[in-house]
Amino acid sequence: MRITVGCDLTVACQQPTPLLLMVQPHTSRRVDLVTADPLVSNPAVPVTEFVDGFGNRCCCLVALAGDTQLSQRALVECSGKPDPVLPHLSAVPVEALPPETYQFLRPSRYCETDRLDQTAWDLFGEIPAGWPQVQAICDSVHTRIHFDMGQARPTKTALEVLEEGQGVCRDFAHLAIAFCRSLNIPARYCTGYVGYTGVPRGPEPIDFSAWFEAYLEGGWHVFDARYNTPRIGRVLIGRGRDAGDVPFLHSFGPHDLTRFEVITQALAAV
């Protein structure tokens, strides 16, 4: 199946302002791109693309004073199958982990595992290490945390999510990641496009979504504490230690985001 993903943004700046955007499908999905997927600005300004240390595609530009419209579209080939569920997978002992996974065991800006270790072991320490343990974390976070778009704030940490009991998809991911790391399971933050393909349309508008990947037997595997069910048509944009590594827009100066629309649309089979 094919899915159109993209976004339309309008950024208002009082003076020329450098912007960094991360809205294109991740380098790991380039093989699935059916068409080119440039970021287009109006007024037109030069856009420079680079790949960061996590394999994320980033776009740099200098927005002019006034309104700058930014648009991106990608047509992506997808399998049409839901996220795999592999409950037989075991955890990998720390001493056998690939060195590149170690950074995803440590505390990070929004995942303060050093303050959640005891809670994680109290809640999940008796569950077999591996897929069952990670799934139990997702079940718990999904049940404990109430989704509320009005509770989004850029400074909220995993511990604050647990204490407040509410948040948005990034908060679900941060708490689940922190619990995994506390249990010696590498976990990394993911952001991307997840529409309503294969499920009834919900009341919330389509937005950039957050989920996470845990390193178990066989490599990295997708988990989603927000929806807590396998989804079809997930298109990755970025990976990192937490949301601080993958902002869809970072402005190096004052700005107002006056338009924000995310598109995820599965195309009808021909």
Asked if residues 178 and 113 have their Cβ atoms less than 8 Å apart, the reply is: yes
Share of the chain above pLDDT 90, in %: 91
Residue 102: which domain range?
94-232
Instruction: Mark whether 161 and 262 lie in a shared domain.
Output: no
Looking at the 3D structure of the chain, how many domains does it have? 2
DSSP for 138-149, please give it.
Answer: HHHHHHHSEE-G
Instruction: Mark whether 216 and 153 lie in a shared domain.
Output: yes
What are the distances in angstroms from CA 235 to CA 49, 114, 172?
19, 31, 19
Alpha-carbon distance of 262 to 72, in angstroms, equals: 10
pLDDT of 149 reads 86
Comparing CA positions, the residue from 84, 30, 78 lying closest to residue 233 is 78
Give a yes or no: residue 238 inside a domain: no
Name the phi and psi angles at 139, rounded to 5: -60, -45
Alpha-carbon distance of 81 to 79, in angstroms, equals: 5
pLDDT of 206 reads 86
pLDDT band at 268 (very low <50, low <70, confident <90, very high): low
**Average pLDDT for 216-221:** 97
pLDDT of 269 reads 60
Instruction: Mark whether 109 and 220 lie in a shared domain.
Output: yes
pLDDT band at 132 (very low <50, low <70, confident <90, very high): very high
Residue 200 has pLDDT above 90, yes or no: no
Q: What is the CATH number of the domain that holds 8?
A: 2.60.40.2250
